[in-house]
Structure 1
């Protein structure tokens, strides 16, 4: 541990970076703007140049390689380097691979074991894989966990409240959420659904059917009597809404982690999710949430038909059928919980325990600060590799 605080240059993105650094650091986190090369071309999202500032002891970025940095840590959500729109190797992708294999990149921190698996699969043919693996670790995102009681501790659970939060309405499960509301209304079940979403969907979202008119059958359901819709909501108010819900809905088709899920758990609220990507790493079915099965590949990613265009009627039929299947399965799982106060109370305690154990920002800050100390003391000319301290800091993660 250093006697004096270090200066860490940190990527000032919209919000993901705060989940992957020390929120209560004893060091100086110098949040810096950066050049968003992805606005020039989507394939350039994996790299950036940070704004100049006071000399820093090291740089920590998330998803984007900081070009020119003398010593840095790269944390990432899924692939690293990101190479969207570049399915084949080319001069640029090889350049980025060389940057993370360089001794300047001291650690590669995956956000989940799912991200770690994707990274190893991405680099399975990379001759530098041994060097990459030597500095590859897993650390979960962290959030501020307030010292609050369960707001539904005295609730009889005779009416279940579900809350969906997500910008990508269809991809993250908003269509499923409103279909649950519709099915509950038709069956006379006391289930209410909150939707917080700007309703981003369609061609620009890689999971969605492309035709805008397809989504009208779901957006029309936002006016159901058991649905409350808000396009936006401040984070504090959103967390309050989650705290007053029996379940957070994240029936996603693809997700790197699911920040709404861990924020819900911090508020004692279990998660109704899908069994894919990183969600099964922290959601245990019938303990701290409900998981609906999905067709997935060996990496745990949604296995959708690859030979059908998203612009085709066949894909629309497939997507519609999946939404309906997930919604029906969710209603089947939720129905026995109506009025079962004891069972829901157990799930809520388990959800909160999971948040405290895995995502607490105070504990995470101690571990991040220790890593910053360690990396700052390293000679950038030496090969970087994980130490026992790195591995122990990851707890029970792989």
Structure 2
């Protein structure tokens, strides 16, 4: 058990405090640093430690850094290669860099595989169902999803869009434009005849809808990973997403999904004005323009697969194959168990260093899965 300090203040999200007299020999935490742990593995989505506005010279920041550079911290596990790049860039040029890099590896998240088989087996693809899942409506790409629906109506395309979202947006979401008039034109589209909006659903129900969809949509502007993508593939459903952050590590275009194009920097993030400018009209207009661009690109792609059941059946098989080979909880569980056993035997009197063979990182792309294999091979 840990103490959730982030409930008191968001800036305190980067650490937790182990209960007194906790007898654990090894603690594995995600996105937090456990003060008081004898031996730890820390997984992270992007930055480690998570500072959330805390200055680099703050006492708490220094305490968290001391923990992850100590011998008690045995591994730093990025959820993606994007996460590892981000974390290493954060510490580049500092005394901590070499210590942090030596104990860093990549292990992608995992997911329970759906057990119902391909729900669209035998479907003729004469009309398409797309599903967007994301609480952060703007950041995750919900605006793009509803514009796809509107453009489909205008062009007479047989496309229906499900939106599963609590519609969080605006000032409270760190990357959204803050213009109070920005959101309404997009939320108004939730009433279109080819859009169904769910304000929220239990995970099992959301995955059932994903499994009955031809594609899920994740045209996100920034995402540390994009967990809905692997849940979708676990239900046989390919993903249409943007080519930013960790998503190219998940989606191989033409096989298990399709990538929409945003201009990226060397880290893999979307190139745009700094978030400190998000109150400006220029920042807001870039979002509007980019939403239109992504929606247009997605519609043009969808036109190529409407009425093409063989193409979609192959993509669905490849999506499931990706989930089985890269993201299966059963497969990942064995890797974690092996890591736990080894780390629990390591002495905290010596520096932690990843074993280049036993701590081998997850691959940077699913391309290796499909090399030399025909589409739809499982």
- Smaller-chain TM-score bracket: over 0.9
* CA pair 89-370 structure 1, distance change in 2 beyond 3 A: same
1:269 pairs with 2:234: no
Match of 1:334 among 292, 302, 306: 302
Q: Which runs of 5+ in 1 are unaligned?
A: 1-31
Q: Which runs of 5+ in 2 are unaligned?
A: 366-378
Structure 2 residue matching 1:214: 3-state secondary structure: coil
Query: Which residue does 2:130 correspond to in 1?
Result: 162
> Mean alpha-carbon deviation: is it higher for 50-59 or for 337-346?
50-59
Q: Distance in 1 between matches of 2:260 and 2:56?
A: 34
Q: Distance in 2 between matches of 1:256 and 1:350?
A: 23
Match of 1:381 among 331, 340, 349: 349
* CA pair 389-147 structure 1, distance change in 2 beyond 3 A: farther
C-alpha contact (below 8 Å) 1:138/1:397 kept by paired residues: no
* CA pair 41-224 structure 1, distance change in 2 beyond 3 A: same
* CA pair 307-260 structure 1, distance change in 2 beyond 3 A: closer
Shift of 1:98: 1.5
Structure 1 residue matching 2:186: 3-state secondary structure: helix
1:103 pairs with 2:71: yes
TM (norm. structure 2) is: 0.93
Q: Distance in 2 between matches of 1:53 and 1:220?
A: 54
* CA pair 302-242 structure 1, distance change in 2 beyond 3 A: same
Please provide the CA RMSD for this pair.
1.6
1:179 pairs with 2:179: no
Matches within 5 A, 1:25-104: 32=1, 34-52=2-20, 55-86=23-54, 88-104=56-72
Structure 2 residue matching 1:206: 3-state secondary structure: coil
Shift of 1:88: 4.5
Shift of 1:52: 4.9
1:346 pairs with 2:318: no
Structure 2 residue matching 1:60: 3-state secondary structure: strand
1:218 pairs with 2:189: no
Structure 2 residue matching 1:95: 3-state secondary structure: helix
Shift of 1:54: 5.2
C-alpha contact (below 8 Å) 1:308/1:314 kept by paired residues: no
Structure 2 residue matching 1:213: 3-state secondary structure: coil
Query: Which residue does 1:17 correspond to in 2?
Result: none
Q: Distance in 2 between matches of 1:240 and 1:378?
A: 43
Match of 1:240 among 194, 199, 208: 208
Q: Distance in 2 between matches of 1:79 and 1:308?
A: 19
Q: Distance in 2 between matches of 1:142 and 1:395?
A: 11
Aligned length: 365
C-alpha contact (below 8 Å) 2:249/2:364 kept by paired residues: no
> Mean alpha-carbon deviation: is it higher for 208-217 or for 330-339?
208-217
Shift of 1:37: 2.3
Query: Which residue does 1:363 correspond to in 2?
Result: 331
1:282 pairs with 2:250: yes
Shift of 1:377: 1.0
Q: Distance in 2 between matches of 1:219 and 1:150?
A: 31
Shift of 1:361: 0.5
TM (norm. structure 1) is: 0.88
Structure 2 residue matching 1:203: 3-state secondary structure: helix
Shift of 1:378: 1.3
Query: Which residue does 1:153 correspond to in 2?
Result: 121
